[in-house]
Amino acid sequence: MEQQDVKTLKAPARGSQSRRGALLMGCVALLPLVVLAGLAVLSALGAYRASDEARLRDTARALAAAVDAQLGTYLVALQALATSRELEEDFDAQAFTTRSRGVGELFDGWIVLLGPPPGYRVLSLSKQEDHTPLPTELPPNNRRAIEPLLAEVFEHGRAGISDLFEGSVIRRQILTAMVPVVRDGLPPRALALSFEPAALRQLLARQDLPPGTFAAVADGQLHILAHSFDPEGQRIGVRAPGWVNAAIAGKQRALVTGPGWSGEDNIYAVERLRLAPGWTVTVAEPLAAQQASAWQALRWLIAGGTALGLGLAVVVWASRREAVHDARREAEALRTGRAEVERLLGGLPAVIFLREVAPDGSSRPVYRGGDLDIVMGWPAADLATRRNFEDLIHPEDTNLAREMPQLLREGYASYEWRMRQPGGGWRTLHTLARVLVRRHDGGAEIVGYTVDVSARREAEARAKASARLASLGEMAAGLAHEIKQPLQTISLAAEIAQLEARQGNAQSVDESLERIVEQAGRTADMIDRLRRFARGGEDGVPPQAVPLAAAVQGALDLTRSALRDASIEVEVALGEPTPIVQGQSVLIEQVLSNLLLNARDALTTRHASAPRRIRIAVAPGANGIVRLTVADTGGGIAPEVMARLFEPFVTTKGPDKGTGLGLSICHGLMKGMGGSIEAHNEAEGAVFTITLKAA
pLDDT of residue 529: 59
pLDDT of residue 7: 40
Q: How far, CA to CA in Å, does 638 sit from each of 599, 601, 633, 680, 683?
A: 14, 15, 14, 10, 13
Interval 500-515: pLDDT, tens = 777 777 777 777 777 7
Grade residue 12 by pLDDT with cuts at 50, 70 and 90: very low
CA 689 – CA 631 distance, rounded (Å): 9
CA 41 – CA 326 distance, rounded (Å): 26
Higher-confidence position of 106 and 291:
106
Residue type present at position 617: A
Q: How many CA atoms lie within 13 A of 217 on its CB side?
A: 30
Grade residue 687 by pLDDT with cuts at 50, 70 and 90: very high
Is a pLDDT exceeding 60 seen at residue 17? no
Is a pLDDT exceeding 50 seen at residue 3? no
Q: Any long-range contacts for 30-36 (C-beta under 8 Å, 24+ apart)?
A: 36/308
Phi, psi angles (nearest 5°) of residue 163: -85, 175
pLDDT of residue 264: 78
CA 371 – CA 352 distance, rounded (Å): 9
The SS3 of residue 567 is coil
- For 264-276, b/e burial (b = at least 16 CB within 10 A) is eebbbbbbbbbbb
Range with the poorest average pLDDT among 99-103, 301-305, 659-663: 301-305
Range with the poorest average pLDDT among 192-201, 342-351, 680-689: 342-351
Query: 632 has which bridge partners?
Result: 614
Interval 298-339: pLDDT, tens = 555 555 545 555 655 666 676 677 777 777 887 787 777 677
Higher-confidence position of 129 and 107:
107
Residues 6+ apart with CB under 8 A from 374: 349, 452
Higher-confidence position of 78 and 395:
78
Interval 630-646: pLDDT, tens = 999 988 888 888 888 88
Range with the poorest average pLDDT among 186-200, 253-267, 309-323, 332-346: 309-323
Is a pLDDT exceeding 90 seen at residue 427? no
Grade residue 221 by pLDDT with cuts at 50, 70 and 90: confident
Q: Concatenated DSSP letters for 502-517?
A: HHT-HHHHHHHHHHHH
Q: Which domains does the chain have, with CATH numbers?
A: 82-196 (3.30.450.20), 199-345 (3.30.450.20), 351-452 (3.30.450.20), 460-693 (3.30.565.10)
pLDDT of residue 633: 92
Grade residue 443 by pLDDT with cuts at 50, 70 and 90: confident
pLDDT of residue 575: 85
pLDDT of residue 5: 40
Range with the poorest average pLDDT among 382-386, 419-423, 486-490: 486-490
CA 267 – CA 286 distance, rounded (Å): 6
Q: Quote the mean pLDDT of the chain.
A: 78
Grade residue 440 by pLDDT with cuts at 50, 70 and 90: confident
pLDDT of residue 11: 43
Is a pLDDT exceeding 70 seen at residue 131? yes
Q: Any long-range contacts for 284-289 (C-beta under 8 Å, 24+ apart)?
A: 284/56, 284/213, 284/214, 284/215, 284/216, 284/260, 285/52, 285/56, 285/210, 285/212, 285/213, 285/214, 286/212, 287/257, 288/264, 289/212
For range 16-21, the mean pLDDT: 54
Output DSSP code: residue 543.
P
Give one word for 138, left, alpha or beta, with left for phi > 0 and alpha for psi -120 to 50: beta
Is a pLDDT exceeding 80 seen at residue 59? yes
Structure pTM? 0.43
Is a pLDDT exceeding 60 seen at residue 211? yes
Higher-confidence position of 334 and 146:
146
CA 446 – CA 403 distance, rounded (Å): 12
Grade residue 8 by pLDDT with cuts at 50, 70 and 90: very low
Interval 40-51: pLDDT, tens = 555 555 555 677
Pairing of strands 412-420, 444-452: unpaired
Cis status of the peptide bond prior to 620, with omega within 30 of 0: no
Pairing of strands 173-181, 569-573: unpaired
Phi, psi angles (nearest 5°) of residue 686: -90, 150
- Are 546 and 537 in contact, with CB atoms under 8 Å apart? no
Is a pLDDT exceeding 70 seen at residue 97? yes
pLDDT of residue 541: 63
- Rounded to 10°, the helix 476-503/506-535 angle is 160
Higher-confidence position of 104 and 361:
104
CA 78 – CA 350 distance, rounded (Å): 11
Distance from the first to the final alpha carbon of the chain: 132
For range 188-204, the mean pLDDT: 90
- Are 430 and 457 in contact, with CB atoms under 8 Å apart? no
pLDDT of residue 190: 92
Cis status of the peptide bond prior to 118, with omega within 30 of 0: yes
CA 109 – CA 191 distance, rounded (Å): 13
Is a pLDDT exceeding 70 seen at residue 15? no
Angle at alpha carbon of residue 625, lines to 620 and 630, rounded to 5°: 55
Residue type present at position 184: D
Query: 438 has which bridge partners?
Result: 444
The SS3 of residue 609 is coil
pLDDT of residue 581: 92
Is a pLDDT exceeding 90 seen at residue 615? yes
Grade residue 677 by pLDDT with cuts at 50, 70 and 90: very high
The SS3 of residue 572 is strand
Q: How far, CA to CA in Å, does 234 sit from each of 198, 220, 237, 637?
A: 11, 19, 9, 52
> For residue 330, what is the enclosing H or E element?
helix 309-346
Higher-confidence position of 10 and 456:
456
Query: 577 has which bridge partners?
Result: none
Interval 535-589: pLDDT, tens = 555 555 677 899 999 889 888 888 888 888 888 999 999 888 889 999 888 888 8
Range with the poorest average pLDDT among 177-181, 555-559, 677-681: 555-559
- Are 691 and 621 in contact, with CB atoms under 8 Å apart? yes
CA 141 – CA 681 distance, rounded (Å): 30
For range 515-521, the mean pLDDT: 72
